[in-house]
Structure 1
Amino acid sequence: MRTPALALLSAALLLLPASTAWACASCACGDPTLTSMGGEQPFEGRLRLSTMLRAWGHTEGRTGVDAQRLRELRMDVAVAYAPRPWLVLAVNLPLQAREVQDVSLGMERGWGLGDLDVSAKAFVWKDKEFSPDQLVSVVGGVKLPTGPRLHARDGTTLGIDAQPGSGSVDPMAGLAWQGFRGKWSFLASALGFLPSRGRDDYRLGASLRTQVAAQYQPSPTWAVRLGVDSRAERAPDTNGTPEEAGGGFIAYASPDVLFSPGMDVVVQAGVRIPFVNQLRRVSSTPIAVLSLAYDL
Structure 2
Amino acid sequence: MWKSSLVAALALATLLVPTEGRACATCACGDPTLTSMGTEQPFAGRLRFATQMRAWGMTTGQQAVDAVSLRELRMDLSVAYAPLSWLFLSATLPLQTRAVRDVSLARETAWGVGDMEISAKAFVFRDREFSPDHLFGVLVGARLPTSTTVRDANGRQLSLDAQLGTGSLDPLLGLSYSTFRADWSFFASATGYLPTRGREGFRAGPSLRTTLAAQYQPDPRWALHLALDGLLDGASDTHGVRDPVGSGVIAYLSPDVLFSPATDVVMSLGVRVPVLNFLHGNVRQLPILQAAVAYDL
| TM over 0.5, shorter chain | yes
- 1:12 maps to none
Q: Tell me the CA shift for residue 270 of structure 1.
A: 0.3
Q: Distance in 2 between matches of 1:222 and 1:65?
A: 47
Q: Tell me the CA shift for residue 23 of structure 1.
A: 2.8
Q: Distance in 1 between matches of 2:204 and 2:272?
A: 22
Code of the residue aligned with 1:160 in structure 2: it is: L
Secondary structure of the structure 2 residue equivalent to 1:278: strand
Greater mean deviation of Cα atoms: 237-246 or 157-166 = 237-246
Code of the residue aligned with 1:61 in structure 2: it is: G
Code of the residue aligned with 2:33 in structure 1: it is: T
Q: Tell me the CA shift for residue 161 of structure 1.
A: 1.2
Q: Distance in 1 between matches of 2:247 and 2:181?
A: 38
Cα distance per residue 1:131-164 (max 9 Å; x no partner): 0000000001101101111110111111111111
Q: Distance in 2 between matches of 1:66 and 1:291?
A: 35
Aligned residues: 275
Secondary structure of the structure 2 residue equivalent to 1:27: helix
- 1:295 maps to 296
Code of the residue aligned with 1:94 in structure 2: it is: P
- 1:9 maps to none
Secondary structure of the structure 1 residue equivalent to 2:260: strand
- 1:85 maps to 85
Structure 1 residues 270 and 192: alpha-carbon distance in aligned structure 2, compared to 1, 3 A threshold:
same
Q: Distance in 1 between matches of 2:62 and 2:245?
A: 10
Within-5 A mapping of 1:266-281:
266-281=266-281
- TM-score by structure 2 length? 0.91
Within-5 A mapping of 1:98-247:
98-247=98-247
Gaps of 5+ in 2: 1-21
Q: Distance in 1 between matches of 2:234 and 2:137?
A: 26
Q: Distance in 2 between matches of 1:244 and 1:206?
A: 12
Structure 1 residues 260 and 155: alpha-carbon distance in aligned structure 2, compared to 1, 3 A threshold:
same
Secondary structure of the structure 1 residue equivalent to 2:279: coil
Q: Distance in 1 between matches of 2:208 and 2:115?
A: 20
Q: Tell me the CA shift for residue 244 of structure 1.
A: 4.7
Code of the residue aligned with 1:53 in structure 2: it is: M
Structure 1 residues 244 and 176: alpha-carbon distance in aligned structure 2, compared to 1, 3 A threshold:
closer
Cα distance per residue 1:148-195 (max 9 Å; x no partner): 111101111111111112110001001000000000000000111101
- 1:285 maps to 286
- 2:36 maps to 36
Code of the residue aligned with 2:293 in structure 1: it is: L
Code of the residue aligned with 1:245 in structure 2: it is: V
Code of the residue aligned with 2:36 in structure 1: it is: S
Code of the residue aligned with 1:47 in structure 2: it is: L
Q: Distance in 2 between matches of 1:233 and 1:148?
A: 24
Gaps of 5+ in 1: 1-21
Q: Distance in 2 between matches of 1:192 and 1:283?
A: 23
- 2:59 maps to 59
Contact 1:203-1:236 at 8 Å conserved across structures: yes
Contact 1:61-1:245 at 8 Å conserved across structures: no
- 1:4 maps to none
Q: Distance in 1 between matches of 2:246 and 2:146?
A: 24
- Asked which structure has the greater CA Rg, the reply is 2
Code of the residue aligned with 1:88 in structure 2: it is: F
Q: Distance in 2 between matches of 1:271 and 1:116?
A: 23
- 1:46 maps to 46
Code of the residue aligned with 1:185 in structure 2: it is: S
- 1:19 maps to none
